[in-house]
Structure 1
Amino acid sequence: MPFSALSLSGDDVDKKVMRPPSSDRKTIVENFFSLTLFQLIITFIPFLTVPYLIRVIGAEKFGLISFAYAFVLYFALLADYGFNYSALREISISKEDISKVSRIFIAVMTLKLCFLILSLSLIGVLCIWVPKFREDWPVYLASSGYLVGYVLFATFLFQGMEKMKYLLFLNLPSAAFTLLILILVKSEEDFLRVPLLGSAGSILVGLLALATAFRKLGIRWERPRLEQIQHEFKEGWSMFLSNLVSVGHGNIRILAVGLFAGDRITGYYTVAERLMNMLQVFPLSLWVQVVYPRLCSIFVENKGRFLKMIQGFQKVATLLYLLMSGAGFVFATWIVNLLCGNPAEEAITSLRFLVVALFLTAANAFRVQFFLVQGRREIVLKISLFSGGIATLLVFPLTLYLSYPGTALSLIVLLSLAYVLTEREMRARRL
């Protein structure tokens, strides 16, 4: 069995504990619904604008905006570093000590601001010297504001403190800016307003999140300590490398399609990617994000209960996404026709490849969390570097020779390798 009590000592395993206490269930349920509404705002509402934008500005301009967005998001990986795991874990364990939480928060935000300055400088250099980016530099400049807001919004703090409700309320202004697209974008000539509105909403939300951290969560300002900054940098390093090759592969895919297949196909491929991402968020990513802080606490308190919970989570996730992926494959034509207003073959084929990837993601989700909660980031790093590295090397030649199906195929390769390697690591440790 992938997860077994063999990984724990006899004293650690409480076989009587089959379900989390009601207090844990209540916290998890409350945070799940808060985070669900939060993700509805940041994922589903923008997704609703896709059919409108495809019809109004066309697939080509939509593809250009998607390419610019993916380009900027790659720098978000640098700004994010590995803090959404390392700092989140530290805060979830120390959330009762507001002084310690404040030190972690200040150190992490100092590093994130340094990464932001570096990222914006690199974007500027590329827009000046690289023809591909220089031709459409206003689009990349307008999209860069999203990066600023992303850095200012300390999601790791709200999740670590298990204050998910603030994520919901803080993102309401962002939803309003997104919906303004339906009012202010009326023709192809208005396409630049799309990234401008997105960036404006992101920056506003980031500033509100900072204010909330100090006023509502009790974060105290203090001068950043060098030793704390060095500690956070070291703690986040392994997850940064992991995210760079695994999460970063998502942005590389859209960049590869944009470079080799053109803006129109990029637009249709992005529709399939966004739909897959939405199905991954609802409910898998939400589920993982909500239970991760609680699992970290439970692991420290009772390893037997931690083991039982994560076993059950993985079984349910695998079955649920087997059904969802099968439905997505069968009804791909109908779904694409509904979203794009036409049965675009590029989007249909991409979607059918990507729902396979969706199932592979779910089948390994809590197996990976099993290692992360225990602080065994080096295992996840090793798996991510190998599988993500192979897939990243393949994405450009596969896209060059197979076009957009090759791009989606590279993701299936990544997730298949990750699953096999995770299974091998668990068997090697008799888990």
Structure 2
Amino acid sequence: MKRLLKNMGLLFFAQLCGYLIPILEIPVLARALGVQEYGKVVLIQSVALLTSLLVEYGFSLSGSRQIAIARDERGALARIFGEVLSAKLMIFFVVSMVGVIVFLVQGSVFYDRELVFMGFLYFLAFGFSPFWFFQGLEKITVVVVVEVTLRFVGLFLLYVFIRGEQDAVLALGIMAGFGLLNTLVGNVMCVSKVGRFYLSFVGGLHQIKLGFHVFVYKSSSNILMSAGPSLVGATSGHIAVASYVPAEKIIRGFVGFVNPILIGLYPYLNRQFQFSQGNTMRLSWMIVVGMFVAGVVAAGLIFFIGDFLILKVLGAGFMVASDILKTFVWIIPFRLANQALGLCMLIPMGRDKVTSFLMMSSSIMSMLLAAIMSVWYGVDGVVMGFVIAEICLFFALFTVVFEGKNKYQNKEGV
């Protein structure tokens, strides 16, 4: 229990810094680079983050679960680390080939090669992060300290060296460079822990197959949020991205801030469902309702102070982001409730396949709705499409919970 609380505290700290640093980056970059160059930087940054999620693949759950079981067996740790790294390299190769083709066809028309290269480094940094390994070992103190320290150093250098629109490549290079350094340090620590390991094509395929449903569940919402700037850029141009991103970062940061609670409760609820389904269901419902209520309160607060925040932090030139934020905030209560329904109820009930299917369907629906509505409403249409799809997902997951509960009760009655 002590280790659980310590890790939850560290995850809170890391999540808080992961929320604050991107928020602090906004005024530093937006004021220095201007709307046009800032829009280019955040668009490439969002594409790099989106593709890195494909390489990460959800190993933070499927891989860390294996590490947790085998944490006292060095041979098993080496095998798992080698297989996961093999899987990431295989996914990386496919994603990179697609990216090269897209860039050769049209990417060079819109952006400098230097900016795209920095985006590629950003992609490497997040795609090959070994945080999943230390999360499974329940030894995250050092990696959290290193990550937070490097991110604050990077923020300081952005403040010192980024002075005008000519510094766009340097800005993305600083963010990508420190992210890549953090990933290299983490992987060196992994190798020192496991010793000799081997890459395996068969093992990589095994890990991809093993983590598929977890990947679909975990990554669907992340991919959706990360794809937002790319979609806005494709439908409305990179200047519109500069107005969308500040609102998107606020929403993503707040939603991600509750993850340590849900991840910390996840193993406990899995065990409890095996012994007392009724009591665990009541506790899980309390968590879901609590998340929804907290989301409503947060959305209302952000709605009323959004104008003030945007004006004071970014300036009058970004006030259009305030209107976007006032619509976007209503995704918060439904996103929090949906995460709680998945991690605290459906997956512990053994409904992971249907949950992952609904999450992926919701992501596809979100993108389609956002693209269609952007034709009439521009950036506001993209945001409205995301909110509507999230509400629909909430009712779908709600229905599956009751179906799963009834099936469980019928099974118990036999």
TM-score normalized with structure 1 length: 0.86
Distance across 2 between alignment mates of 1:146 and 1:327: 33
User: How far 1:241 sits from its partner (Å)?
Assistant: 3.8
1:170 corresponds to: 146
Segments of 5+ residues of structure 2 without an aligned counterpart are: 407-414
Give the stretch that moved more between structures: 340-349 or 353-362. Answer: 340-349
Distance across 2 between alignment mates of 1:211 and 1:190: 31
| Identity percentage of aligned residues | 18
**Over 4 Å off, 4+ runs:** 131-134, 242-245, 293-309
Segments of 5+ residues of structure 1 without an aligned counterpart are: 1-22
Matched, 1:142 2:142: no
SS in 1 for 2:194: coil
Distance across 2 between alignment mates of 1:137 and 1:397: 31
2:253 corresponds to: 278
SS in 2 for 1:163: coil
Matched, 1:426 2:401: yes
Q: 1:313 to 1:28 in 2, by over 3 A?
A: farther
Q: 1:131 to 1:29 in 2, by over 3 A?
A: closer
Q: 1:149 to 1:230 in 2, by over 3 A?
A: same
1:68 corresponds to: 44
1:393 corresponds to: 368
Identify, as 1 or 2, the structure richer in helix.
Answer: 2
Matched, 1:331 2:305: yes
Q: 1:298 to 1:429 in 2, by over 3 A?
A: closer
SS in 2 for 1:331: helix
Contact kept, 8 Å, 2:118 with 2:176, in 1: the verdict is yes
Distance across 1 between alignment mates of 2:283 and 2:82: 33
User: How far 1:319 sits from its partner (Å)?
Assistant: 2.2
- How do 1:23-422 residues align onto structure 2 when only pairs under 5 Å count? 23=1, 26-131=2-107, 134-171=110-147, 172-215=149-192, 218-225=193-200, 227-242=202-217, 245-282=220-257, 284-296=258-270, 307=281, 309-342=283-316, 344-369=318-343, 370-374=345-349, 376-422=351-397
Give the stretch that moved more between structures: 183-192 or 113-122. Answer: 113-122
TM-score normalized with structure 2 length: 0.89
Distance across 1 between alignment mates of 2:89 and 2:30: 35
Distance across 2 between alignment mates of 1:301 and 1:104: 30
Q: Deviations over 1:314-362 (max 9, x none)?
A: 2332222221111111222112112212274421111111110011111
Distance across 1 between alignment mates of 2:402 and 2:354: 13
Q: 1:333 to 1:208 in 2, by over 3 A?
A: same
Structure 2 residue identity aligned to 1:315: V
User: How far 1:375 sits from its partner (Å)?
Assistant: 5.0
Contact kept, 8 Å, 1:152 with 1:209, in 2: the verdict is no
Distance across 2 between alignment mates of 1:122 and 1:275: 31
Q: 1:151 to 1:302 in 2, by over 3 A?
A: farther
Contact kept, 8 Å, 2:12 with 2:260, in 1: the verdict is yes
User: How far 1:107 sits from its partner (Å)?
Assistant: 0.6
User: How far 1:87 sits from its partner (Å)?
Assistant: 1.9
Distance across 2 between alignment mates of 1:163 and 1:66: 33
Structure 1 residue identity aligned to 2:296: L
Distance across 1 between alignment mates of 2:227 and 2:161: 30
Structure 1 residue identity aligned to 2:336: A
User: How far 1:96 sits from its partner (Å)?
Assistant: 4.3
Q: 1:247 to 1:91 in 2, by over 3 A?
A: same
Contact kept, 8 Å, 2:129 with 2:187, in 1: the verdict is yes
- How do 1:10-25 residues align onto structure 2 when only pairs under 5 Å count? 23=1
Distance across 2 between alignment mates of 1:399 and 1:357: 17
Contact kept, 8 Å, 1:39 with 1:281, in 2: the verdict is yes
SS in 2 for 1:246: helix
Structure 1 residue identity aligned to 2:340: F
2:412 corresponds to: none
Q: 1:350 to 1:142 in 2, by over 3 A?
A: same
Give the stretch that moved more between structures: 127-136 or 66-75. Answer: 127-136
Distance across 1 between alignment mates of 2:278 and 2:74: 29
Give the paired residue count: 404
Distance across 1 between alignment mates of 2:156 and 2:269: 36
Q: 1:83 to 1:417 in 2, by over 3 A?
A: same
User: How far 1:294 sits from its partner (Å)?
Assistant: 4.8
User: How far 1:82 sits from its partner (Å)?
Assistant: 2.9
Distance across 1 between alignment mates of 2:188 and 2:269: 28
Structure 1 residue identity aligned to 2:152: A
Distance across 2 between alignment mates of 1:140 and 1:239: 30
Q: 1:166 to 1:300 in 2, by over 3 A?
A: farther
